[in-house]
Amino acid sequence: MSTWEPTWPGQRTGTDSLASRLGVLRTREGMTQQQLADRLGVSRVAVSHLEAGINSPDARTVTLLASVFGMEPHDLVAGTDYPVAKVDRLPLVVARRTEVAHQVALMEADLAWVEGPDAVVADPALVDEVRQRWRVALTKLAATVVDPDESAALGAARARLDGLSSS
């Protein structure tokens, strides 16, 4: 005789569940529920409820989640049990980088321009000026950052600049 197992209304399980997708993405990013909660401005319990499928995220939360995971909102919910009626309220595009990630990427592009075998600039004074400008910019940015991971990323970028100056 088979037994009947109750399920939450409207909740699917498996790969088409937004709840399971969120857990997989968070784990892939190496984040704890608390770290994700801090990024979203919600409690750890709220993240736990999203990943368990107890609560469904609103459009704002989907947008923030997509940004954290470096995706567009529609891509995050595509093929999941997220309500089709809510998909229309999602923005098409979100910012995928924090200011720290953006500035570090710009610094890396500038450093590629002034160092290495394909360097475009040969003037040592200009190379030093580029490095010094980035030291100042990263120091100013570090004064505004509160996230430990972003602080670490800035520290690594500044260490990279300091390592270059001693080369």
Please give the radius of gyration of the chain, using alpha carbons only, rounded to the nearest integer. 22
pLDDT 10s digits, 57-107: 999 999 999 999 989 999 999 999 999 889 999 999 888 778 999 999 999
Token representation of residue 28: 């892939």
Residue 3's pLDDT band (boundaries 50, 70, 90)? Answer: low
Listed residue (80, 93, 99) closest to 137, CA to CA:
99
Give pLDDT, residue 61: 95
Residue 14's pLDDT band (boundaries 50, 70, 90)? Answer: very low
Q: Which ranges of 29-123 does DSSP label H, i.e. alpha helix?
A: 33-40, 44-52, 59-68, 73-77, 84-87, 99-114
pLDDT 10s digits, 98-109: 899 999 999 999
Cα 145 to the chain's mean position, in Å?
15
Contact 90, 19 (CB under 8 A): no
pTM exceeds cut of 0.75: no
Give the long-range contacts of residues 2-7, CB within 8 A, separation 24 or more: none
Residue 164's pLDDT band (boundaries 50, 70, 90)? Answer: low
In terms of Cβ atoms closer than 10 Å to its own Cβ (0-12, 13-18, 19+), residue 55 is middle
